A and B are shown apart, each in its own frame.
Chain A
Amino acid sequence: MSVTNLLDIRDLQVHFMTEAGVARAVDGVDLSIAAGETLAVVGESGCGKSVTSRAIMGLIQPPGWIEGGEILFAGRKGPVDLSRLPPNGRQINAIRGTEITMIFQEPMTALNPVLKIGAQIMEPLLLHEKISKAEAKERAIASLAAVGIASPRQRFEEYPHNLSGGMRQRAMIAMALVCNPSLLIADEPTTALDVTIQAQVLDLMKDLRRDFAGAIMFITHDLGVVAAMADHVVVMYRGKIVESATVHALYRHPLHPYTQGLLRSVPSITGRGAKRLATIEGSVPRPTERIRGCAFAPRCPHATPICRQEVPALAEVEGHHRAACFLHHTVVEERAHAA
């Protein structure tokens, strides 16, 4: 296992049994997150981005299972393959909630409505760290203050329903950060929020990045949020990564036709766009549908016969910019010939 990366996912496959057959929700994903980095995972519903994050958390439950691959995590007690740990075993429980934490789209699904905010933030501390209740309380209050909650001592004693949506999202972030995790997974953390509150929470997360040494895996479908938050981006389609690049390279020079289509189909608020929005024809195929060749080929304007025969590998096209597309494989091959 490489020493530089906090997380290395190799050929991860997560399958679900459905009435219509086996759905390959995650179908051979490779990705790495370096310590302190913010990686955005982008894609539309059903692309496998959330399932990937749940696999990291050890939260894949029947009818789903990890079919293959590795999730190597540089834990505080040494490297560990998270995909091999028994769910709810001692090892994953020691990592989940302390070293790897998660925030969700809808804070009310993560907060217990009948427990006080303070008690919920103290819980991981009391479970995982050998500290007194008084110490835990001080840490929890400090954590509430760090996420910009006014009068944290008072909020500590309140219930989730006393807080507004934005405040709840802050409380959930406080809970996720209180144990100083090395990886924070944020699954659409601002999608349910209004735009001005979303801006507040994104600003907060950017501020926290300065103090918080850990890495962030940011799962979203919003290309505006990605541009604001990420260092590196991976784009997923039908359980696979189709493109991986730094945030600047991805927006300046998207390589995969799917990424290009996504970026073009977003209307511009500056009003510089065309009268008609560019679209990607058709819709995402069902997860149980078997597609020969590249999964995007049926919707791709550049598809060639080979795209319908073989699956393109995720290959490096230019420095650190990778794409899974035969259009760019010729570039890669030519360069290999020249060398």
Chain B
Amino acid sequence: MQPDDVLLQVKGLRKHFPIRKGLFRRGGGTVKAVDGVDLTIKKGETISLVGESGCGKSTTGRSILRLIEPTEGEVLFRSRVFNGGSSETLVDVASLPASKVKQLRREMQIIFQDPYSSLDPRMNVADIVAEPLRVQGVMGRAERRDRVVHLLEAVGLGGDHARRFPHEFSGGQRQRIGIARALALNPRFIVADEPVSALDVSIQAQVVNLLQDLQADFGLTYLFIAHDLSVVRHISNRVAVMYLGRIVEIGDSEALFSRPRHPYTEALLSAVPVPDPGAARTRIRLRGDVPSPSAPPAGCPFHPRCAYAIARCREEVPVLREAGPRQQASCHRIEELTLAGVDAP
């Protein structure tokens, strides 16, 4: 990792889950949930991971934070906590001892999808938001109280909410509480795992705006995990599309949405229902379902569902390679295919 503007670099990340079968829980193979992901995240950007259930996007996000132990690979992060906060040191999150991972939590945080299950119902809001501060032991009691009020105001709640309990809040307000908790330690990097998927449309817009405001105010870098491509386009600088544990396409948001280079991206984009009854769009009907990640197809993992597959796709695994300016895709036929994006011609 050379350039200074890179915050985090993921190299060859893999997470394999063993399938345990039978009395002695042996054999049964492995699910390759994440199967060789490379990703570079720049300071201050929002990069989105998109894909369908089981593609490995959440596992990737959690492996980067060491919320689950990666099987293989490096997660290089420019950390400040180990040098007294002044200068940056490069650490490999994936191989750091557990005690140091705890320190790293000051810089790397997560926002969860479900605002109903991610807050302890028996803790009041002040305790929930102050918990990271207490665990890390970075502030005294009085200081923590002030910090909580400040954080609640930053996410659009009032300091008077501090003594209330999660059940007294709506879904959107609970998500704001979760965001305040993630911000408590003043992190630099936040994994937002489907942060607006469980929210109603009108509330979703409020939370998306809030995330963007906070990014500007606190200089945050986001890894945004989502399946709603309209929200992704709105919020992201760059987008990575995952399929069966691998990134099949990555590029600047504008380029990827207007000119996708991987047939799976094209199909995903065409499947999004547009809120316009007059919209004339051709939809690419994908055949069948996503194959099981425990038995991915030979060759290109997407070939059984791909409308453009040729003999080579059944045999040879394509690698991620240059497909356009700042755009990469793993497809044998990048040069020959002209795929449709979502912008009307």
Is the A/B pair a real complex?
yes
The residue of chain A having its C-beta at the shortest distance from the C-beta of B254 within the complex is A271
Given contacts A44-B200, A200-B286, A271-B257, contact A277 B205 (CB under 8 A): yes
Contact of B200 among A164, A247, A284 (CB under 8 A): A284
The segment from A119-127, A210-218, A260-268, A320-328 that touches chain B is: A260-268
Q: In this assembly, does A203 line the interface, its C-beta being within 8 Å of a C-beta of chain B?
A: yes
Q: In this assembly, does A224 line the interface, its C-beta being within 8 Å of a C-beta of chain B?
A: yes
Q: In residues 245-278 of chain A, which contact B (Cβ within 8 Å)?
A: 247-248, 251, 261-263, 265-271, 273, 276-278
The segment from B69-77, B169-177, B330-338 that touches chain A is: B169-177
Contact of A196 among B170, B234, B268 (CB under 8 A): B268
Q: In residues 291-345 of chain B, which contact A (Cβ within 8 Å)?
A: 342-344
A45 vs B272: C-alpha distance when bound (angstroms): 22
A202 and B273 form a contact (CB under 8 A): yes
| Set of chain B residues within 8 Å of A223, measured between Cβ atoms | 201, 275
Q: What 0/1 readout, one digit per residue, does chain A (41-52) give for beta carbons within 8 Å of chain B?
A: 000110000000
A196 and B257 form a contact (CB under 8 A): no
B275 and A194 form a contact (CB under 8 A): no
Q: In this assembly, does A199 line the interface, its C-beta being within 8 Å of a C-beta of chain B?
A: yes
Q: In this assembly, does B103 line the interface, its C-beta being within 8 Å of a C-beta of chain A?
A: no
A276 vs B216: C-alpha distance when bound (angstroms): 13
The segment from B8-16, B28-36, B39-47, B206-214 that touches chain A is: B206-214
Contact of A195 among B212, B233, B258, B272 (CB under 8 A): B272
A225 vs B275: C-alpha distance when bound (angstroms): 7
Contact of B275 among A45, A198, A227, A284 (CB under 8 A): A227
The interface size of chain B toward A, counting residues with CB under 8 Å, comes to 46
Q: In this assembly, does A166 line the interface, its C-beta being within 8 Å of a C-beta of chain B?
A: yes
A202 vs B209: C-alpha distance when bound (angstroms): 30
Q: In residues 209-250 of chain A, which contact B (Cβ within 8 Å)?
A: 221-228, 230, 247-248
Q: What 0/1 readout, one digit per residue, does chain B (185-223) give for beta carbons within 8 Å of chain A?
A: 000000000000000111111101100100000000000
A269 and B205 form a contact (CB under 8 A): no
Given contacts A44-B202, A267-B231, A270-B342, contact A227 B209 (CB under 8 A): no
A224 and B206 form a contact (CB under 8 A): no
Contact of A265 among B202, B267, B279 (CB under 8 A): B202
B285 and A199 form a contact (CB under 8 A): yes
| Set of chain B residues within 8 Å of A271, measured between Cβ atoms | 233-234, 254, 257-258, 342-343
Q: In residues 240-277 of chain B, which contact A (Cβ within 8 Å)?
A: 254, 257-258, 267-277
Q: Do most interface residues of chain B lie in helix, strand or loop, or is the interface mixed?
A: helix
Q: In residues 280-302 of chain A, which contact B (Cβ within 8 Å)?
A: 280, 283-284
A262 vs B231: C-alpha distance when bound (angstroms): 15
A224 and B171 form a contact (CB under 8 A): no
A251 and B277 form a contact (CB under 8 A): yes
The residue of chain B having its C-beta at the shortest distance from the C-beta of A150 within the complex is B288
| Set of chain B residues within 8 Å of A278, measured between Cβ atoms | 205
Interface size class of A (residues with CB under 8 A): 35 or more
A166 and B289 form a contact (CB under 8 A): yes
| Set of chain B residues within 8 Å of A228, measured between Cβ atoms | 273-274, 277
B227 and A194 form a contact (CB under 8 A): yes
A28 vs B286: C-alpha distance when bound (angstroms): 43
A56 shortest CB reach to chain B, Å: 23
Q: In this assembly, does A186 line the interface, its C-beta being within 8 Å of a C-beta of chain B?
A: no
B229 and A279 form a contact (CB under 8 A): no
Q: In this assembly, does A197 line the interface, its C-beta being within 8 Å of a C-beta of chain B?
A: yes
B202 shortest CB reach to chain A, Å: 4
The residue of chain B having its C-beta at the shortest distance from the C-beta of A42 within the complex is B201
A224 and B274 form a contact (CB under 8 A): yes
B273 and A224 form a contact (CB under 8 A): yes
With most chain A CB atoms within 10 A of its CB, the pick from B52, B233, B234, B272 is B234
A170 shortest CB reach to chain B, Å: 11
| Set of chain A residues within 8 Å of B273, measured between Cβ atoms | 198-199, 202, 222, 224-225, 227-228
B200 and A251 form a contact (CB under 8 A): no
A331 shortest CB reach to chain B, Å: 24
B234 and A277 form a contact (CB under 8 A): yes
Q: In this assembly, does A74 line the interface, its C-beta being within 8 Å of a C-beta of chain B?
A: no
Contact of B230 among A203, A268, A276, A283 (CB under 8 A): A268
The residue of chain A having its C-beta at the shortest distance from the C-beta of B287 within the complex is A200
Contact of B277 among A197, A198, A247, A268 (CB under 8 A): A247
A196 and B271 form a contact (CB under 8 A): yes
The residue of chain A having its C-beta at the shortest distance from the C-beta of B343 within the complex is A270
Q: What 0/1 readout, one digit per residue, does chain A (312-338) give for beta carbons within 8 Å of chain B?
A: 000000000000000000000000000
B201 and A167 form a contact (CB under 8 A): no
| Set of chain A residues within 8 Å of B344, measured between Cβ atoms | 270
A248 and B231 form a contact (CB under 8 A): no
| Set of chain B residues within 8 Å of A197, measured between Cβ atoms | 52, 289
With most chain B CB atoms within 10 A of its CB, the pick from A166, A195, A265 is A195
A196 and B172 form a contact (CB under 8 A): no
A251 and B205 form a contact (CB under 8 A): no
B277 and A269 form a contact (CB under 8 A): no
Contact of B204 among A196, A265, A273, A276 (CB under 8 A): A265
Given contacts A194-B53, A248-B278, A277-B209, contact A269 B200 (CB under 8 A): no
Q: In this assembly, does B20 line the interface, its C-beta being within 8 Å of a C-beta of chain A?
A: no
For the complex of A and B, 5 pairs with smallest distance between CB atoms: A224-B273, A194-B52, A44-B200, A265-B205, A199-B271
A positions within 8 Å CB-CB of B: 44-45, 164-167, 194-200, 202-203, 221-228, 230, 247-248, 251, 261-263, 265-271, 273, 276-280, 283-284
Show 27 residue pairs from A and B whose CB-CB distance is below 8 angstroms, ordered by the A residue.
A165-B289, A167-B289, A194-B52, A194-B53, A195-B229, A197-B52, A197-B289, A198-B271, A198-B273, A199-B286, A222-B273, A223-B275, A224-B272, A226-B275, A228-B274, A247-B277, A251-B276, A263-B275, A267-B233, A268-B233, A270-B342, A270-B343, A271-B343, A276-B212, A278-B205, A283-B172, A283-B203
Known: A196-B271, A199-B270, A200-B285. 13 other contacts (CB 8 A): A194-B227, A194-B290, A195-B271, A199-B286, A226-B275, A227-B273, A248-B278, A266-B201, A267-B230, A268-B234, A270-B344, A279-B206, A280-B205
